[in-house]
Each structure stands twice: as C-alpha cells, then as structure tokens.
C-alpha cells in the first residue's frame, strides 16, 4: 500500500490493520475504551503544535488525530453501527443547520448574534437528542439538571470553565472580576487551615475549591485557564532547561546542585526573557 491524499485510502489502510487474519495484532485487539486515551492525547498534541507555532508538526498531529477518527469509525463499522461516511454526513448536517446565516440566508450579521443563534440551535438539538434517546430507552442527560449538558469527560479545567459559563447563563455569576480575587484569598485561607488539620481529604477539597476559583477569574478576564496553564508549562520547561544547560556548563549535575543554585539560575532565566 502506498501513501495517498485520498481519504478513502486511509479508510482502506485502517481496514487492513483491523483485518483479523492479516492485520496488526495490536490494532485488532483494540476497543473504543482502549483507544479513547490515545484520541485525547492526539488532541493535546495538536494543541501543543499550535502553541509552538510549528506548522510541520501541526500537519503531522492533525493526521494522527484524523487517524483516531478513522479508527473509531472502523470499529463502529465492524459492529454494524455506522460508517466513516456517516460521521462526515452527520457533522456536515450539523454545521449547515447551525449556520443558517450562511446557508439559509437568515438575518444574522454580528458575531454576538451568531453565537446566540448557535446556542438556540444547540438547545433545540439537545431536546431532539433527548427525545431520540428516550425512544431508544436510554437515560437522558437532561435528568442531571441545568448543568447536565456539560460533559464530565472533559479535562477538569475545561469542565470547570463550562460549568461556570453554563451557570452564568441564569445569572449565577459575579458581575466583575474583583470579588473573585477576594474569593481566591478566602479559598487560600481555607487551604491553609486544611493543611494545618493534617487531613488529606480536606486539603484535596480545599485545593479543588481554590483551582475552581482561579478558573473563574480566568473566565472573567477572558484568559482560558487551560491555555494559560499550557503557556506557563511551556515557560517552566524553558526556564528549567536554562538551569540544566547552565549547570552542565559548570560541570554540575541537576542531582548535585543545591536549591539555592537552581533558584539563582531560575531568576537569571526569568530576567533574560
């Protein structure tokens, strides 16, 4: 089999890998559950390539993510559930329906109006999906209440952000950022008390409350917490690499260096940015 730009050839490749007689033993034994972590990992690697502005890597990582979609569709096809073409048709149907201002010429011309229209259409889709699930005898997510539409499977920071955005739609929100800073200070105080108590479960609870409040301030100042943390992670990698390189030049290993030496180099890296 030769590489191709044709998506149908990628589907054929996936089918060959999953062939129980001649395919790859590892690919054959995979299930939706075992592949799920790889799908999430590939999405993060796409985000990382974007963060680094590496277009060559982005091309490769988007291919890896696409392969995950094809993998899931192949397993669904084998189970008689749906085909890759059904996935394409479903997303096209959804996007056409959610963009009537483009495909049906509705009178919507501003980004805010588009967002409001999108939310209305999604709400209608949710009701339709609930009806379909009920007819199939499946549990309706709406029974989880107003926040039921926020998926638990997302990264915790993203789930916290979505929960807060959802609650804000009915007015359960601060009107400005300043009071949230007071809430953060309150949560820090409660975390200090939890640390004094020596109770791990209490420390965990208070740490979670503090992080939730930090997500909220990020939302109010329009700084996505996930992306903000990714930026800090990148910065930490860069500064720590400076420490490691500087120590190597001095003939000192990381293990042999003192905290004071590493802190001095950290400050030097920070000053040089």
- Tell me the whole-structure pTM to 2 decimals: 0.61
In CATH terms, are 7-149 and 156-271 the same topology? yes
CATH 1.10.287.1080 fits 7-149, yes or no: yes
3-state secondary structure of 267: helix
3-state secondary structure of 246: helix
Q: Where are the domains of the chain?
A: 7-149, 156-271
For residue 54, what pLDDT is reported?
Answer: 95
Q: Give per-residue pLDDT as tens, 180-238.
A: 999 999 999 999 999 999 999 999 999 999 999 999 999 999 999 988 998 899 899 99
- Beta carbons within 8 Å of 203's beta carbon, 6+ residues apart: 191, 194, 195, 197
> How crowded is residue 180: how many other Cβ atoms within 10 Å of its Cβ?
20
**Cα dihedral sign for 44, 157, 69, 16?**
positive
DSSP state for residue 143 in the 8-state scheme: G
Output the DSSP codes for 90-109. Answer: HHHHHHHHH-HHHHS--S--
- What is the C-alpha to C-alpha distance for residues 237 and 233, in angstroms, rounded to an integer? 6
CATH 1.10.10.10 fits 156-271, yes or no: no
Q: Give per-residue pLDDT as tens, 140-192.
A: 554 568 888 788 877 889 899 999 999 999 999 998 889 999 999 999 999 99
Q: Give per-residue pLDDT as tens, 2-47.
A: 889 999 999 999 999 999 999 999 999 999 999 999 998 999 899 8
Residue with tokens 């929100």: 173
Angstrom distances, CA of residue 118 to CA of 21, 64, 102, 145, 259: 47, 29, 12, 21, 52
């Amino acid at each position: 089999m030769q590489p191709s730009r044709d998506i149908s050839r990628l589907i054929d490749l996936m089918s060959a890998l999953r062939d129980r007689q001649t395919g790859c033993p590892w690919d054959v034994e995979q299930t939706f559950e075992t592949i799920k972590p790889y799908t999430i990992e590939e999405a993060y690697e796409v985000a990382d390539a974007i963060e680094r502005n590496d277009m060559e890597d982005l091309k490769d990582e988007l291919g890896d993510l696409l392969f995950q979609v094809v993998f899931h569709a192949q397993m669904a096809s084998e189970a008689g559930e749906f085909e890759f073409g059904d996935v394409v048709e479903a997303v096209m149907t959804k996007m056409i329906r959610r963009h009537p201002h483009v495909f049906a010429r509705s009178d919507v011309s501003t980004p805010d109006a588009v967002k409001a229209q999108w939310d209305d259409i999604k709400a209608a889709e949710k009701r339709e999906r609930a009806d379909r699930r009920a007819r199939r005898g499946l549990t309706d997510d709406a029974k989880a209440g107003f926040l039921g539409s926020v998926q638990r499977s997302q990264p915790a920071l993203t789930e916290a952000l979505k929960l807060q955005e959802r609650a804000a739609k009915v007015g359960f929100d601060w009107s400005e950022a300043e009071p949230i800073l007071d809430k953060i200070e309150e949560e820090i105080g409660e975390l200090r008390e939890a640390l004094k108590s020596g109770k791990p479960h209490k420390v965990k609870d208070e740490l979670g409350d503090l992080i939730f409040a930090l997500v909220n301030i990020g939302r109010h100042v329009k700084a996505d917490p996930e992306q903000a943390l990714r930026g800090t992670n990148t910065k930490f990698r860069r500064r720590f690499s400076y420490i490691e390189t500087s120590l190597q030049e001095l003939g000192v290993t990381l293990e042999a260096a003192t905290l004071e030496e590493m802190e001095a180099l950290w400050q030097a890296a920070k000053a040089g940015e």
